[in-house]
Structure 1
């Protein structure tokens, strides 16, 4: 009988160690959930180099258009299926296609 039991203290039988499934073994990463991964290159993204776009973390250098490679900002980017594009490439590749688009107001037919 240990000293606590003689004084009437009951010990919880809960395990003191919970194993993690995280591949990162550092104490800091285990405590705070590790680092997020860049959506473009897959490497760890730390707070000093992190940009959020399309709801995902990116490195500042990876935050570029998927088509032309132009550097993006939150106001100049658009997103489609998890990938980010500049507004020009997005319009060129995913915008409306067919007759009558992009010709200006002179091509519109006015019905009486």
Structure 2
């Protein structure tokens, strides 16, 4: 039996309680099994198509500012579309 993939997945998000403490973790795509949300096992054999190892380094992508064309480094994400602004142009735009 391997280590539970939910222990080190980058898609886990902490749910914060009223005291500012992490109450529990929730997967933004939903857990691969109903038993994962309260799993206390040392390991399992489940797989997940959305799994991203928390230790993996994301490589920056060069994008251009929508207004001035300045080169910017952006960490790749699954978000599609949207305009990208450098700091100065963003402040001028608001």
TM (norm. structure 1) is 0.23
Higher relative contact order (CA 8 A, sep 6+): 2
Structure ID, larger Rg: 1
Give the structure with the higher percent strand: 2
